A and B are shown apart, each in its own frame.
Chain A
Amino acid sequence: MPELTTRIGDLTMRSPVMLASGTVGYGPEYEGVIDFGATGAIVTKTITVEPREGNAPPRLVETPGGLLNAIGLENVGLERFLAEKLPEAAPLPVPIVASVAGTGAGQFAQLAAAVGERDEVAAIELNISCPNVERPRNPVWSDPVAVGEIVSAAREATGKTLSLKLSPNTSDILSVAEAAERAGADALTVANTLPGMRIDIERRRPALGNVTGGLSGRALMPVNLALVWKVAEHVSIPVIGSGGIGDTGDALEFLAAGAVAVQVGTALFATPEAPSEIADGLRNYMEENGFASIDELVGMAREERRTCAETA
């Protein structure tokens, strides 16, 4: 029987299929719908220090093969997350990764310390890449110096496993990845959504209340796959693939590119069964092709890995 266990820092997961931040709420919303038992971990909605109302509606518009969202990091804030949401999510049979976003290194440290000291939190994802909140012209996700400061501050604040969620919307993702690794990140989540928009011609205005939103879903998959390929080669910390993963084939491609785990998000909306189907699919693939562990799949399409397999 092939072994689906995979590891990110101190977090050992029974399956490499995680659920992406923003799509599963705080977890309990999906109880009875998603099979959490077949899931490696859930990543919560991003928590900010203060509660956020989020953007004016409409917040969603479907696109060919994808979805644009402009939720705007609506969340209950750190205090209510710790007091209510975390205890409610704790009984779910799945590790919880808390996603957090601050306005700067100080807030990231505050958030990482606060969620990091809770036993219910298995790991922390630092979200520096939401495209839907106010930002300066030079977004933090493109700034290796700022990213290094954020990761260092969070690193000092907690001993819990830290993954940094990168943005695909940058010309030099490798410098950012490098800065995060140097500053002590345990893993990188590659990657968030790409900015985009639609216009409602009938009403002659942008389809989203926020004008632009983040593109997710199948249309994003090849973009983020290419980023995983690049980043995985460049850093020695584990990479978690994210972006339009909807079935076993997609998950295999991300693993083959060098990801040690994958996050499923938008696919849950049409197919809440996707995480368990992908876990089953991976197991079948491994059985049929003689793989014993997820480690053997990671990077299997990379030349160094292929050469190694051929000479063995």
Chain B
Amino acid sequence: MSPTSYLFTFEAGPEFPTPRPGQFVNVAVADDLTLRRPFSFAGIPAPGRFDLLVEMRGKGTRALAEKPIGSAVGVLGPLGNEFTLPGADSVSLLVGGGIGVAGLRLLAQELRRGYHRIHALVGARTSPGLLHHVLPSPTGDGEVLIEVATDDGSEGFHGTVAGLLERVLNELDAPARVYCCGPPAMIAATADITAKRGVPCEALLEEMMACGVGACRGCVVATRSGYKSVCSDGPVFDTNELVLEELVRA
């Protein structure tokens, strides 16, 4: 999908519950790793199947990428909560940084099926890292719009995807709802921009996880009502609930 990311399709069988946008799955990627790896559901190509969009970043993701096609892999899921779907009259702004686009892909597909207006803003450091092409294709009638941003200006808007969001919100003529997923600094910037304008915003967070079900309290994030588990209270949070300084510091 990009020089460092792959799309995997898993055959989970008819008993596997249909994942909701925002939910994730814990994958037993390798026998010699202590922890499973959490990945957002990135698509449902057919009933009983799901897609994961994975960037090769460390031992776990590399082990997954090296598995032969057809390998049996243990999965635990669907886990976690889900995105709040938008009202019929609002534009959904999907803000994805880097591999964060993976967390928005299933949402984009679901919104598209419901004929919601989608405006996707996709950022990356440089042009080859952009993952906008995994989202539903732009339409001529403007119902699906996609814009890209690169930190180095090699493609699209020159700057961060949060900077691009600011420009888009300034020009927007309809009520909006923002969904974001990406690095902590990008989420914090997106949260700031939306809070100032009173635009509802949800972030899908990523954290190192152990149990995945809220038992071990290992994957917490600081919120205005104390530490919450990303795995069981999230992974989707209203950004007004997050303590942004701690999100960036952690």
Complex Cα distance, B216 from A45, in Å, reads 8
Complex Cα distance, B214 from A65, in Å, reads 23
Q: Which residue of B lies closest to A219 (CB)?
A: B34
A53 at the interface (CB under 8 A from B): yes
A74 at the interface (CB under 8 A from B): yes
**Given A54-B220, A270-B28, does the pair A66, B34 have CB atoms closer than 8 Å?**
yes
Complex Cα distance, B216 from A219, in Å, reads 19
Whether A33 and B216, one on each chain, are in contact in the complex, defined by CB atoms closer than 8 angstroms, is no
**Given A29-B232, A74-B227, does the pair A217, B216 have CB atoms closer than 8 Å?**
no
Contact for A62 among B208, B215, B216, B222, CB less than 8 A: B208
* Segment with Cβ contacts to B, from A9-17, A20-28, A140-148, A223-231: A20-28
- List chain B residues, Cβ under 8 A from A62: 33-35, 208
Whether A33 and B210, one on each chain, are in contact in the complex, defined by CB atoms closer than 8 angstroms, is no
- List chain B residues, Cβ under 8 A from A272: 76
Closest CB of chain A to B8's CB: distance in Å?
A: 19
Closest CB of chain A to B160's CB: distance in Å?
A: 20
- List chain A residues, Cβ under 8 A from B33: 62, 270
Residue from the set A23, A69, A209, A272 with the largest chain B CB neighbour count within 10 Å: A272
Interface class of chain A by DSSP: loop
- List chain B residues, Cβ under 8 A from A58: 207-208, 250
Q: How many residues of A contact B (CB 8 A)?
A: 34
- List chain A residues, Cβ under 8 A from B250: 56-58, 209
Whether A217 and B34, one on each chain, are in contact in the complex, defined by CB atoms closer than 8 angstroms, is yes
Residue from the set B28, B211, B226 with the largest chain A CB neighbour count within 10 Å: B211
Closest CB of chain A to B235's CB: distance in Å?
A: 14
- List chain B residues, Cβ under 8 A from A33: 76, 213
- List chain B residues, Cβ under 8 A from A271: 28, 74
Whether A59 and B34, one on each chain, are in contact in the complex, defined by CB atoms closer than 8 angstroms, is no
Q: Which of B190-237 contact A (CB under 8 A)?
A: 207-222, 226-227, 232
Q: Which residue of B lies closest to A69 (CB)?
A: B218
Closest CB of chain B to A267's CB: distance in Å?
A: 8
Whether B213 and A67, one on each chain, are in contact in the complex, defined by CB atoms closer than 8 angstroms, is no
**Given A53-B227, A66-B34, A71-B216, does the pair A269, B210 have CB atoms closer than 8 Å?**
yes
Complex Cα distance, B214 from A56, in Å, reads 17
Complex Cα distance, B211 from A272, in Å, reads 9
Whether A60 and B232, one on each chain, are in contact in the complex, defined by CB atoms closer than 8 angstroms, is no
For A190-231 the 0/1 string (1 means CB < 8 A from B) is: 000000000000000000010000000110000000000000
B246 at the interface (CB under 8 A from A): yes
Whether B220 and A59, one on each chain, are in contact in the complex, defined by CB atoms closer than 8 angstroms, is yes
Whether B34 and A218, one on each chain, are in contact in the complex, defined by CB atoms closer than 8 angstroms, is yes
B117 at the interface (CB under 8 A from A): no
Complex Cα distance, B243 from A125, in Å, reads 35
A248 at the interface (CB under 8 A from B): no
Whether A23 and B216, one on each chain, are in contact in the complex, defined by CB atoms closer than 8 angstroms, is yes
Contact for B207 among A53, A57, A69, CB less than 8 A: A57
B15 at the interface (CB under 8 A from A): no
A61 at the interface (CB under 8 A from B): yes
- List chain B residues, Cβ under 8 A from A54: 217, 220, 227
Complex Cα distance, B218 from A300, in Å, reads 37
Complex Cα distance, B229 from A53, in Å, reads 12
25 contacts between A and B (CB under 8 A): A22-B216, A23-B215, A24-B215, A25-B213, A26-B215, A29-B215, A33-B213, A57-B219, A57-B222, A57-B227, A57-B246, A58-B207, A58-B208, A59-B219, A60-B208, A62-B33, A62-B35, A62-B208, A65-B32, A67-B34, A69-B216, A69-B218, A209-B250, A269-B212, A270-B35
Q: What residues of chain A have their CB less than 8 Å away from a CB belonging to chain B?
A: 22-26, 29-30, 33, 45, 53-54, 56-63, 65-67, 69, 71, 74, 209, 217-218, 266, 268-272
